[in-house]
Amino acid sequence: MKYGLILLFIVVPALEIGMFILAGKAIGVFSTVMLIIATGILGAYFAKRQGMSALRKVQEQLRLGQPPGNALLDGVCGFVGGILLLSPGFITDAIGLLLLLPFMQKYIRPILLKVIKNWFSGHRRFYIYR
């Protein structure tokens, strides 16, 4: 877990800075900044759209008495994808875009489910507060 945090907070930003420098040299500073702003706006739009869509699917499945498993996991993928697009950087944008694509979500769902199961199994008990 601690190595994941090192990767998240040190390595990824360093790689993003390197990508910004390369992009600035290749397409120019103004174009690079405009691309970052455009993907940020796109990310905000998709995060909202995917979140609302997932919420509607979950509500519909609950109304029909079905467990909202896949709809909930797709909503998480869409929300995280939108947030990654919102954050500046080309690597996070690529990962965020992959999370938003429906055909990729079917591959990500089992991984996400395994992470959630491992998280819950690592805790002996959990409480639901109402």
Question: Is residue 129, in this structure, part of any structural domain at all?
Answer: no
Question: Is residue 130, in this structure, part of any structural domain at all?
Answer: no
Using H for helix, E for strand and C for coil, what is the string for the chain?
Answer: CHHHHHHHHHHHHHHHHHHHHHHHHHHCHHHHHHHHHHHHHHHHHHHHHHHHHHHHHHHHHHHCCCCCHHHHHHHHHHHHHHHHHHCCCHHHHHHHHHHHCHHHHHHHHHHHHHHHHHHHHHCCCCCCCC
Question: Is residue 128, in this structure, part of any structural domain at all?
Answer: no
Write down the pTM of the prediction: 0.77
- From first to last of the 130 residues of the chain, give the pLDDT tens digit: 667 777 778 888 999 999 999 999 999 999 999 999 998 898 888 878 888 888 888 888 888 888 888 888 888 888 888 888 888 899 999 998 888 888 888 898 888 888 877 777 766 565 656 5
Residue 20 structural domain? 2-122
